[in-house]
Amino acid sequence: MSKCDLAIVFARPNRTYRGGDELSGTVHVQVNQDVRCDGLIVEHFWQTHGQGNTATGPKESSVVFQGNLQAGQAYSYPFRFTVPDGPPTYHGHYLNVDHYIQARVDIPWAIDPKLKEEYLLLPDEREYGNLPPDRNQQPRLMGQVLKLGLPVGVAMIVAGVLVLFPCGIVLIPLGCLVVFAALRQSLAEKKIGKVELHWGSLRVAPGGEVPLALSFTPRQSCTLNGITANLLAVEQCVSGSGRNKSTHTHKVHQQSITLAGQGPLTAGQPVQVKTTVPIPQTNAFSFSASDNELIWTLEVRVDIPLWPDWVEKRVLTVRPAPAAEIAQQQPGQPPPPPDARRTRAESKAAAFPAGAGSPAAGDLGSAGMTLSMGSEVTFHRPPPEPSLARGPAEAAPPAAEQQPAVTQQPSPGTAAVDGALGQLVDRLGAANRYGSARDEIIRQYAEQSFPCSIEIDAVERTYTYVPDQRFRNGRTVTGLLRGTDCRVSVQLPEERNEQLDTLGPGDTLQANCTPLKWNNIHDRLEIREL
Amino acid sequence: MPCPVETTVESRADRRRAPHGQPPVDGPLRLPFAELNLRRNPFGELEAAERAAVAVVEVDRLVRRLEQPGYAVQFIGEKGRGKTTHLLAIWRHFPQAVYVHVGEHERPRIPHGRPLLIDEIQRLSRWHRRRIFRRRVPLAIGTHEDLGGELRRAGFEVQTVRPAEALDGKRLCRMLNRRVERARRGPGPLPQISLQTAQAMLDHSGDDLRAIEFCLYDLFQDLAGIQDV
């Protein structure tokens, strides 16, 4: 018999919480033998279970009692914690993520009686960790193959032939495979020309969409088997270590979307595909911890018959988003209420009505798919919502009315990307990184101001020379323009230093800014607060 | 190789599956495996302490001898045969013992403990092993290779145990049901693994306990309600 029996009772019988909620309850201790208790410790943490080695999140603990426990007595101790923001509870096939309250009686020189009970953490829009680290990056292995594949493959062949022959002959086919993997894109582009593929934001919510724009001009006339986008979500769990290591993979979701069907390509005739890839409604959010991962990837494949395919892949971050945002991204949903956040397409149409120089044909955020080949441009666009008829003045409040504000948490009702700013970001994304096209675009917007919401990565002193005295001793905030994958650095005046020094990575900065230039070295947009 | 045991009832996966080949849409969140009166899948990966707690091994005789210096027991077998489980079961009897798992290409610092429990010791270099054996503390080791000669040369009295040899249907059945019991959520019935199933697993996977666990993991993942497996 254990020295004492424990029971944990939650204040909420359904044990269901959201990030930031107060979690309270009581630990009941029934003592079977007299014991000296060095501490009755109550802790809360998340933990994985399933086929992977157990990963445990950071623990927060409190000692609710210290002293002697007498046999036959029953004690009750209340506890109270703030529920963490994530990761949300997930129950999959090989991977499960649960949140626990654990009570442990610390008894010297004996096995500590302990008990842990789960509670359910619902998905919430608040920021949390344990998401894939690389945004807008290729999967690690593919990136390595593209970078090092050619020299490694050649080295393997040379070593197989010259150094290790005849035993090393096995290296020759392996080396050929590595070289082929490294050269595949180049071989494909010999036929179909340089392929430009622009991804929209790779941070997306279930029910949302990932915009894609692909264009190329074939060098040779040939036939195409098709262009597909493959969306894949897998649970990947590792059990054991060393030679005992086993990797378990389970497909949570797999979907192949045909972007263009079979057809002939004519040399010199440009091909453009614009579409959005829908993310299904699911609780399988991206998750990354040691030996336990849930990874979403999106692969675009141009299938060329009897020739290496052109393939590019990205890791998506699928995470909860504000309910309003998800609802608006669902195709076929009724239009959102007037005060809800507008979609980027609506914002753009409102800010750039027809005839006002809107490059709408190139919009990544358009809901329909556009496939144009050569001069026969086919355009499918959903009929405009009634709200689209609104003029720019009505759609976007004047800059003077926008109050710059610094907040610790994003305010759900604030538009993350203004229509005109979204337009600018899309045009920058579509422009050639290494030419002067981006600077030219920025010059066109130089006189405009945009309300921006920036997810902060770092707040630093402004080191560059700035002619305007107000900014010389100010701060520069680097981060991500909320709702996009566009990196920005914002110059802010000295008068805001005190306020900015309280902010850190993960906080959100809201400011009214004007674009300055494109920084090619850091691949980011430089803006300044007005 | 397919698992030899199949369930005929509607599975958890069937109930979760969306109609018309649509992607899975998760229902409302519930406590995991509550319908089986379990806290988790009993055949998932366990932490070391948990694995020790569910071990069905007879180590009492070894424990008594491991209190004497100059005694060493080696557990020999391929992966998934129960070496680690035996070591962890011994560990539970010695609060002052130290358990070290040697990872691939690792050269871990071996702390002082009495007895000293070292898993995958064959991964250490001969020179490194010799230094450890010079400490003359009681030793329990898990290894893929027979290190009896080295131990004897270092002056140890050696006992060799091959955990897989003692495995039969009855013992396996007891081991598997102990794991189910350990995952119990509350009072009441639990899914039970029958002797027949245990024997079928043994015939199918031999003494590879890890393969048996993987197979039962998938089986429990699909189990819709409490029933004998």
Is B61 in the A-facing interface, judged by CB distances under 8 Å?
A: no
Positions of E strands within B27-138: 71-76, 98-101, 116-119
pLDDT > 90 fraction of chain A, expressed in percent and rounded: 23
pLDDT digits (tens, 9 = 90+) for A283-323: 899 999 989 999 999 999 999 888 889 999 999 989 887 54
Q: What are phi and psi of A67, to 5 degrees?
A: 145, -160
**Residue B42: closest CA among B185, B205, B199, B197:** B185
pLDDT tens readout for residues A431-443: 765 556 777 788 8
The answer to whether the CB of A456 falls within 8 A of the CB of A503 is yes
Taking CA atoms, what residue in B is nearest to A207?
B25
Which residues in chain B touch residue A96, judged by CB atoms under 8 angstroms apart?
A: 32, 40-41
Contacts of B51 (CB under 8 A, 6+ apart): B84, B85, B88
Residue (of B164, B163, B193, B165) closest to B178 by Cα position: B193
B186–chain A Cβ distance below 8 A for any pair: no
- CATH code of the domain made up of A4-121: 2.60.40.640
Q: Residue ranges of the domains in chain A?
A: 4-121, 140-329, 399-529
pLDDT for the residue A345 = 31
Chain B residues in contact with A242 by the CB 8 A cut-off are: 103-104, 120, 123
pLDDT at A110 > cutoff 50? yes
More confident of the two residues A135 and A36:
A36
pLDDT of residue A387: 31
Q: Is the pLDDT of residue A238 over 90?
A: yes
Give the mutation candidate from B11, B29, B47, B85 for the A interface (greatest A CB count, under 10 A). Answer: B29
| Separation of first and last alpha carbons in chain A | 71
Chain A residues with at least one Cβ partner in B under 8 Å: 15-16, 49-54, 89, 91, 93, 96, 98, 109, 111, 118, 120, 122, 237, 239-244, 246, 252-253, 255, 280-284
Contact A49 B44 (CB under 8 A): yes
Chain B residue whose CA is closest to A88: B29
Structure-model confidence comparison of residues A160 and B152, the more confident one: B152
Higher-confidence residue: B113 or A355? B113
Strands annotated E in A32-94:
35-50, 60-69, 74-82, 90-91
A91 to B217: CB separation less than 8 angstroms, yes or no? no
Of A133-147, A187-201, A434-448, B18-32, the poorest mean pLDDT is in B18-32
Ranges of each domain in chain B: 66-165
Spatial distance between the Cα atoms of A287 and A91, rounded to a whole number of angstroms: 12
CATH architecture of the region A399-529:
Beta Barrel (2.40)
Substitution target from A47, A53, A243 for chain B, most B beta carbons within 10 A: A243
- Is the CA virtual torsion B40, B44, B45, B49 positive or negative? positive
Tell me which fold the domain A140-329 belongs to: Immunoglobulin-like (2.60.40)
Contacts of B13 in chain A (CB under 8 A): 93
Residue of B nearest to A108 (CA): B95
Judged by CB atoms closer than 8 Å, whether chains meet at B40 and A244 is answered as no
More confident residue, B33 or A336: B33
Q: Which residue of A has its CA nearest to B213?
A: A51
Give B13-19's long-range contacts (Cβ < 8 A, gap of 24+). Answer: B13/A93, B13/B221, B13/B222, B14/B222, B14/B224, B15/B224
**Probe site for chain A from B14, B16, B45, B119 (most A CB atoms < 10 A):** B45
CB < 8 Å to A237, chain B: 45
- Interface touch B45/A122, C-beta < 8 Å: no
* The pLDDT of residue A370: 37
Chosen from A49, A104, A111, A246 to mutate, greatest number of chain B CBs within 10 A: A49
In three-state secondary structure terms, A253 is: strand
Low-confidence ranges of chain B (pLDDT < 50): 7-11, 13-26
Task: Judge: B103–A98 Cβ closer than 8 Å, yes or no.
Answer: no
CATH architecture of B66-165: 3-Layer(aba) Sandwich (3.40)
pLDDT of residue A514: 86
Q: What is the pLDDT of residue B5?
A: 58
pLDDT band at A144 (very low <50, low <70, confident <90, very high): low
In chain B, what's the furthest Cα-to-Cα distance? Answer: 70
What's the pLDDT at A174? 83
Of A89, A281, A284, the CB nearest to B29: A89
Split at pLDDT 50, 70, 90, the class of A460 is confident
- From the CA atom positions of chain B, what is the Rg in Å? 21
Of residues A180 and A143, more confidence is placed in A180
A337-341 long-range contacts (CB < 8 A, ≥24 apart) are: A338/A387, A339/A413, A341/A413, A341/A414, A341/A415, A341/A416
Q: What is the pLDDT at residue B118?
A: 92
Contact A365, A345 (CB under 8 A): yes
Contacts of A240 in chain B (CB under 8 A): 45, 79, 210
Contact A242 B39 (CB under 8 A): no
- Tally Cβ neighbours within 10 Å of residue A474: 23
What tokens does B198 get?
């245990």
Between chain A and chain B, how many beta carbons pairs sit less than 8 Å apart? 75
Nearest Cα of chain B lies from the Cα of A111 at a distance, in angstroms, of 9
The Cα B36–Cα B223 span in angstroms is: 8
Q: Quick check: A242 and B101 in contact, CB under 8 A?
A: no
Note whether B104 contacts A241, CB cutoff 8 Å: yes
pLDDT averaged over every residue in chain A: 75
pLDDT at residue A166, as a whole number: 73
Q: What are phi and psi of A79, to 5 degrees?
A: -135, 160
Partners of residue A118 in chain B, C-beta under 8 Å: 31-32, 39
- Give the gap in angstroms from C-alpha B102 to the nearest C-alpha of chain A: 9
Q: Is B46 on the interface with A (CB under 8 A)?
A: yes
Phi/psi of residue B172, each to 5°? -60, -40
From chain B residues 99-118, the ones with a CB under 8 A of any chain A CB are 101, 103-104
Q: Does B85 touch chain A (CB under 8 A)?
A: no
Q: What is the ipTM of this complex?
A: 0.73
Chain A residues within 8 A of B214 when measuring between CB atoms: 51, 246
Nearest to A54 among B31, B47, B95 (CB): B47
Highest mean pLDDT among A114-123, A312-321, A375-384, B99-108: A114-123
Where b means 16+ CB within 10 Å and e means fewer, A175-191 reads beebbebbbbbeebbeb
Among A54, A96, A255, beta carbon nearest to B23: A255
In order, the DSSP letters of A325-347 are HHHHHSTTPPPPPTTSPPPHHHH
User: What pLDDT shows up at residue B1?
Assistant: 55
Q: Is the pLDDT reported for residue A41 higher than 60? A: yes
Nearest CA in chain A to B80: A244
- CB within 8 Å: A241 and B101: yes
Contact between A455 and A416 (Cβ < 8 Å)? no
**Which residues of chain A neighbour B26 with C-beta distances below 8 Å?**
91, 282-284
- Identical fold, A4-121 and A140-329: yes
pLDDT band at A274 (very low <50, low <70, confident <90, very high): confident
| Closest residue, chain B, to A117 (C-alpha) | B39
Tracing tokens 């753009």 back to the chain, one arrives at A348
- Among candidates B25, B120, B217 on the partner chain, residue whose Cβ is nearest the Cβ of A242: B120
- Of B121, B78, B80, which Cα lies nearest the Cα of B99? B121
Q: Which two tokens stand for residue A503?
A: 């902010």
Partners of A284 on chain B (C-beta within 8 Å) are 24, 26
Lowest mean pLDDT: which of A51-55, A86-90, A159-163, A404-408? A404-408
- State what percent of residues in chain A have pLDDT above 70: 76
User: Would you report the helix, strand and coil content of chain B in percent, each value rounded to 5?
Assistant: 40, 10, 50
Q: Do B29 and A98 touch (CB under 8 A)?
A: no
What backbone torsions phi and psi does residue B65 show, to the nearest 5 degrees? -75, -30
DSSP code string of A457-518: EEEEE--S--SSHHHHTSEEEEEEETTSS-EEEEEE-GGGHHHHTT--TT-EEEEEEEEEEE
Pick from A53, A253, A280: which is nearest to B45 by CB? A53
Residues of B in contact with A252 (CB under 8 A): 24
> CB A15 to CB B95 under 8 A?
no
CA distance A140 to B217: 30
